Amino acid sequence: MENNSTSRRTFIKSAGMAGIAAGLSTSVVPAIARGFDKKGFHLPAEGTSFAQTPLAYSYTALEPHIDAATMEIHYTKHAATYAKNVAEAVTAENVNTSSTTPETVLATISKYSTKMRNNLGGHYNHELFWKLMAAPSGTANPSGKLAAAIQKDFGSVEAFKTQFSDAGKTRFGSGWAWLVLTNDKKLVVGSTPNQDNPLMDVSELKGMPLLGLDVWEHAYYLKYQNKRPDYINAWWNVVNWGFVEKRFEGLV
């Protein structure tokens, strides 16, 4: 999965020079176009902007679980490169960003270029990822309706966490682990390769992303080197369950 001989110096140099730039049921697509407006909650805008938005916390906020150097490189190099390439792609492919959303484009991504797929996927995934994390607050598990739904669909919160962690640990190469809400209101765990996500019509895993974990090496290599399982185990300490619960409650 990772090369143990990869050095911190090589990683930082490559990250500084460039980022890693490289489905939905049809009934869900109209909801995407509306920005998932339900019960006064918009997903995820919070739709998502085509431009990179500022972090809501400092690079040091997720220490010691995610180190500041990784956060800074991840946000300012990798994620920023996806956003830059998205701007180029939407211009080249005549996407009217004032009348559509990234979610709408992702739902029909098969109609667009590889550049759009890779970079809009990367941009959307990261914009969501930042919001899915918060400074450790002692809230280690979900609560309320989300906790009840997890209990129903997975048996227990711990069983869900194990299945989700395994999805990230066993994703070959680079990609993401996801908790999604399917069109029939079932919670499902899975993973996608590269910068694909469950909104894409080309994805085998389809549904509304509620929780996503970046398992590209650039998300953890400075602190955890090739030990992806250690990164995943530590990441649970910074999950912003309040945000995830709000996303879920806006859809059910």
CATH superfamily of 8-249: Iron/manganese superoxide dismutase, C-terminal domain (3.55.40.20)
Helix, strand or coil for residue 78?
A: helix
% of the chain exceeding 90 in pLDDT: 79
Return the HEC string of 209-236: EEEEEECCHHHCHHHHCCCHHHHHHHHH
Within 10 angstroms of residue 209's Cβ, the number of other Cβ atoms is 23
pLDDT of residue 6: 41
pLDDT over 70 (residue 192): yes
* Other beta carbons less than 10 A from residue 57's beta carbon: 14
- pLDDT tens digit string along 41-50? 334 434 799 9
16-25, 100-109, 155-164: lowest mean pLDDT where?
A: 16-25
Task: Single out the residue of 225, 46, 10, 205 nearest to residue 131, CA to CA.
Answer: 46
Q: Report residue 150's pLDDT band, with 50, 70 and 90 as the boundaries.
A: very high
Q: What is the pLDDT of residues 56-99, one digit of tens each?
A: 999 999 999 999 999 999 999 999 999 999 999 999 999 999 99
- For the chain, the domains span 8-249
H or E element that contains 157: helix 157-169
Taking phi first (over 0 means left), then psi (-120 to 50 degrees means alpha), and beta for anything else, what does residue 185 get?
left
Q: pTM of this prediction? A: 0.83
